[in-house]
Amino acid sequence: MARTLYMRVAYDGTDFHGWQTQPGLRTVQDVLEQAVRRVVRHQVELIGSGRTDAGVHAAGQVASFSTTCLLPPRRLRYAIGARLPKDVSLKVMRDVHPEFHATWNARSKLYRYRVFNVPHRPVEHLDQRYTYHFWQQVDLDRMRAAARYFLGEMDFAAMASKGPERTTTMRTVLRCDVERRFDEILVDVEGTGFLYNQVRNMVGTLLEVGRGRWQPEYVRDILLSRDRQNAGPTAPARGLCLQWVRYPAYVLVPPAEPGSEADGGPGLRCEPPPDGPDAVAVD
């Protein structure tokens, strides 16, 4: 009988052409699928929580697949992980509910954007692959004031680059936090879903406000215009990382054995923990 497995992976996106399979190009999905197939010895198709673009990194990307392989999750994790290249790491593997779907069941995602904000380059910290060097001085209070206009459910057409067709440009941003940590500015954006390049365009717009080009309230006018040309530039992919994806607890729990009193359905507590990626503890 087939079982559904949950995978949480991290990867350095620098040398990948994004997550999704593309003929003739190196993608994260292809690399993972090849490793999984070698272990379970049958064809599999990974379902990711969403696409990350070329050059974008992940600390907590989630994928799922079905298999008839009977190896326990811990042994599968070691066997698959040993067959991955050095820029990909399989962090967690677990049995989940058969109906778990990494894309459809996702409740929210957190992306972090790292801006190296001092005159000298980030090479001394070996962070040139993972941060955007923005040398101009910025005002964090102005950026925080501007970030508040991104909160809530609204039309984010002005923050969407041309890309795959979408039925709507309405999206919900749950939080948009801006903080400085030593030489870096961190922009954390949590939402229920994102348009193509949305987070990178939001960051580019916030930096324009921070350096004094626009007043914070101008972000409201940009959003109302629904015109991408009115927003800031697209921040480079190398500064963006998918931190985690949240799911309701019941889809992360395997079905109870027949006759068991365990409840694997929606009656379980579904609120996510305040500081973790999932609604339940992970291996």
187 phi, psi to nearest 5 deg? -115, 115
Rounded CA-CA distance 251/241 in Å is 25
* DSSP structural state of residue 231: S
Rounded CA-CA distance 12/176 in Å is 24
60 phi, psi to nearest 5 deg? -150, 50
Which residue's structure tokens are 């626009």? 214
Torsion sign, CA atoms 175, 180, 182, 184: positive
Active-site positions read: 53
Rounded CA-CA distance 155/202 in Å is 13
> Do 191 and 171 meet the contact criterion of CB atoms below 8 Å apart?
yes
